[in-house]
Amino acid sequence: MRRRELLKTVAGLGAFALPGLGWTLPGWPRASWVFSAVDDTEGRHYLQAVSIEAGRAFRIAVPERCHGGCLRPGSTQAVLFARRPGRSLHVIDGDARAEVARVDAGPGHHFYGHGVFETSGRYLYVTANRIEDAAGLVRVYDAERDYAHCHDLPLDGIGPHELRLMPDGRTLAIALGGIRTHPDYGRAKLNLDVMAPALMLLDRESGEITARHSPSHHQLSCRHLDVATDGTVIAGYQYQGAEWERRPLLARLSPQGDFTEIELPGPLTDELRQYTASIAIARSTPRALITAPRGHRVLLIDSRDGRLLASHHLPDAAGARCDGQGDFLVSSGRGGLYRVGGDGSAPQALESLAIRWDNHLT
């Protein structure tokens, strides 16, 4: 107990005693802003940027609720995406503290809320819905040509959600939710009986689907994921079936391509209420953090074998990302921003703002 307290204190001091170190991430060593979609207490929508070590923050009003985002390598830009069934992506420049571009999903399309750049920072890959036939797509944009739309990569499936780039720089790991929606029907789910979710790998150059792994039940909607530096993928599900059934809520794809599902202790699975939000894997240690806002929990697992290492109460836990130093940043819909130790230590409050942090931190 005492040693744990001590470790916590040291970790806390360490984070603040080294100003200017920034979040060390591949492709963007000095990125110091954390971005997120937020709502204020009146329900107005913003894109929030916070620099914790510099104690700075700014926000930009947007017309619709936004969702996930991604950093553009080699720049101070980040892109945040409208939440399903939103139609816009917003390019934010951290230095300029301004929205520098806004791109529409195009006629007959909407975004699902996530995207990712390839390592050069030129091409942006965004999950989208072709509304007419509910075809799931990855739309490709060229950041060097004012985010002009280049082409689409079809996924042969419905409802792609989060996607990440694999360490080979060429393969996209995509969480295919499988849920059919239509903007005219709001957020109603229209195909719950015949869903076909998957964890997919897509060659972004050839467009070939190189792997498609199906969850153990057709109503396990595969929604969020992160990729470790060794190529391990951890994915989070949201189960659409009966709440009293106990289903796995996490999956793992090994660097060798073996797909398995992670069993958490039964009572903990029940507490999560069939729902996971964000997945973040540490860069240099085999640790993955999962947020579960319905269960008001964050979980820490060993990304090598899925073993549960810690489970903390954190009200309305939402966004998560690694901080580049082995720990994680986690946001809460109640306004708090926390550091959660990669050593299993409990969340420490860093900031508390009068806002509702939305699902993801970038």
Binding residues for another protein (CB under 8 A): 1, 4, 7, 39, 67, 83-84, 113, 161, 184-190, 192-193, 223, 240-244, 270-271, 273, 275, 277, 285-286, 293-296, 300, 302, 308-313, 315-318, 333-334, 342-347, 356-359
Write down the least CB distance from residue 271 to another protein, Å: 5
Q: How far apart are CA 278 and CA 293, in angstroms?
A: 9
The least CB distance from residue 237 to another protein, in Å, is 13
Q: Report, in Å, the least distance between residue 15 CB and another protein.
A: 17
Report the alpha-carbon distance of residue 48 to residue 56 in Å, rounded: 11
Query: Are 71 and 28 contacting, i.e. CB atoms less than 8 angstroms apart?
Result: yes
Closer to another protein by Cβ: residue 213 or 360:
360
**Contact of 126 with 89, CB cutoff 8 Å:** yes
When the beta carbons of 50 and 361 are compared against another protein, the nearer one is 361
152 versus 316: smaller Cβ distance to another protein: 316
Residue 41's Cβ-count burial label (10 Å; 0-12, 13-18, 19+) is exposed
Q: Give the nearest distance from C-beta 273 to another protein in angstroms.
A: 6
Alpha helices by DSSP H, the chain: 2-17, 266-272
Residue 204 or 297 with smaller CB distance to another protein: 297
CA nearest neighbour of 37 among 113, 124, 128? 113
- Please say which residue, 232 or 311, places its beta carbon nearer to another protein: 311
Tokens 């934010």 sit at which residue? 92
Residue 268 CA to residue 289 CA, distance in Å, equals: 15
**Exposure pattern of 110-147 as b/e (b: 16+ CB <10 Å)?**
bbbbbbbbbeebebbbbbbbbbeebbbbbbbbebeeeb
Which one, 83 or 90, has the nearer CB to another protein? 83
Q: How far is the CB of 95 from another protein (least distance, A)?
A: 29
Q: How far is the CB of 7 from another protein (least distance, A)?
A: 7
